[in-house]
A and B are shown apart, each in its own frame.
Chain A
Amino acid sequence: MRSILPEDWTLPAVDELNEAFFTSGRILLQSCAGCGTIQHPPEEICHRCQGTEFETRESSGRGTVYSYTVIHHPAHPKLAQSVPYAVVLVSLDDFPDVRITGNVLNRAFDGVSIGLPVRAVWEEIKTKNGAVYRLPQWEVVE
């Protein structure tokens, strides 16, 4: 179930690079097996050593709102019933250079601001063709 946007709204095109991020139910970041460099979004090659073997590192899922916007104008007819909604950019507390986009599930659109402490939660979405996503989302830590 999606709580902010409609069920038929855009989903990630899952590939071997982003599958762990969008389906595992954990915040798993791409880490170079050769030199340990973290890169997000995941890439096909390590930008530091050009290695092509990767592992994942798990974040605690605690973070801070780094930026946000409140969308009032629906950019597509599918979003007409969803506006206004907020989108946040979260900086991870344990990997502060990594920023992850999401929605805040336990606040209204006008209840988000820069600096809010948040923790990751997951929206489980099953598509008609049987694919299962666990989309990272956020809750304000009360």
Chain B
Amino acid sequence: MHRRTAVVGVGESVYYKRGGAKESEFRLACTAIRRASEDAGLALADIDGFVSYRDERNTPLRLAAALGIRALNFSAQTWGGGGNGCASAVAIADAAVGAGYADHVVVFRALAQGQFRRFGQASGATLAGGSAAFTAPYGLASAPQTMAMDTMRFMHEHGIGQDALAEISLASYEHAQRNPRALRYGTPLTREDYHASRWIAEPFHLFDCCPENDGAAAVVITTMERARDLHKPPVPILAAAQGLDYRASVGAYNAPNFPTAHYRHVGTKLWERAGVGPGDVDVAQFYENFTGPVLMAISEMGFCEPEELDEFVSDGNIRWPDGRLPINTSGGNLGEAYIHGFENINEAVRQLRDESTCQVEGAQLSLSVSGPLAAPGSAILFCRA
């Protein structure tokens, strides 16, 4: 339990549907970073570090030059997967600031898929190597397809019904109806719509899958001491964790603990470091690449046993304002925008500044869990100053 560093600024660009951004990805990144520093009350030139996670194209070298950064003191990026690195990236900034390597570190993600290729599009390459050699030739070519295999086994082993998947999607869409930033603002989803939507890869319907979007989101991290002189109440980092169980990164569904979302180890370490447990959390953001893996992450983080998931997510239990654990309160990847999950970091911070559009009253502990089923997992727990 350290509270050594804090998020002092959050910012984002306008969010767009895929290909809808009217500006370049680099400009989107600059906009989000500028807004995060303005939100903090910092001069842009005072930013001295940048961190992101895999697949980020906008390098700190280019950003530092373009933004007039006085001196760059730190830059880093995580390994592995994709959106599973959101919390890891914030943890790296936390470590760098805590160690004194930099004073004000920005963590960000930007993507404009009209300018570049779609992340989720199968490559259709002639040859697949590595562990994909064992799956792609059989027609597992995109993320919903590969993750459907894990989810189907998880549902079978634990007797989880299709409605549990629906609940994740319905909660995200419902919360998006209150958030003007959200791309699904004004387009509610009903249970009937969910079940009537076409299959993508069983057990995933269309509304189990997150859309692909354009936009950028950023936060600024500094020490608690410096945070006191800035505009907004600091949001301290209580604990973070990333990692894997033994050989959990073995490919082609051969990990010894298959199926796993890669959150058992992360959960254990996070609660141990934070000195609190899942029952103490007031609000949580779970990266929804697909709804099924969110269910896996909820149970692996220790909120309930897998067999209890149907009940844990039903009857409004994960919805604002009355649920016992409101999740994805900005609408998340499904409802707000898919900024590779970084919008869920911003929302977790906003919950502790009373700025959410689905504000959990008096929230003290706010959790953000990064992408499930991609290794390694990562999660971060923020607290009220």
Contact = CB atoms under 8 A, between A and B. Distances in A.
A119 B254 CA distance: 19
Interface string B165-208: 00000000000000000000000000000000011111100000
A87 B201 CA distance: 10
A70 B252 contact: no
A53 B200 CA distance: 43
Interface string A1-44: 00011001111111100100110000000000000000111000
A101 B252 contact: yes
A89 B150 CA distance: 10
A98 B140 CA distance: 18
Nearest to B142: A75
A56 B283 CA distance: 51
B162 to A, nearest CB: 14
B152 interface: yes
A111 interface: no
A100 interface: yes
B135 interface: yes
B44 to A, nearest CB: 40
A79 B254 contact: no
A13 B128 contact: yes
Nearest to A113: B156
Contacts, number: 134
Given A47-B247, A87-B149, A11 B127 contact: yes
A71 B149 CA distance: 10
Contacts of B250: 39, 41
A89 to B, nearest CB: 5
B256 interface: yes
Interface string B103-140: 00000000000000000011111111101011111111
B138 A12 contact: no
A14 B129 CA distance: 8
A52 to B, nearest CB: 18
A15 B124 CA distance: 20
A134 B239 CA distance: 50
A10 B125 contact: yes
B153 A89 contact: yes
Nearest to A67: B153
Contact of B199 (A8, A9, A73, A101): A73
Contacts of B247: 47
Nearest to B152: A67
A92 B149 CA distance: 17
Interface in A32-85: 39-41, 47, 66-73, 75-79, 82, 84-85
Nearest to B200: A73
Interface of A: 4-5, 8-15, 18, 21-22, 39-41, 47, 66-73, 75-79, 82, 84-85, 87, 89, 97-103, 114, 135
Interface of B: 121-129, 131, 133-142, 144-145, 148-150, 152-153, 156, 198-203, 247, 250-254, 256, 258-259
CB-CB nearest 10 A-B residue pairs: A75-B142, A75-B122, A12-B133, A69-B148, A67-B153, A13-B129, A76-B124, A13-B127, A72-B199, A76-B122
Given A68-B149, A72-B202, A87-B138, 15 more contacts: A5-B137, A10-B126, A10-B136, A40-B252, A67-B150, A69-B148, A71-B140, A71-B148, A72-B201, A73-B199, A75-B144, A75-B145, A76-B142, A77-B124, A102-B138
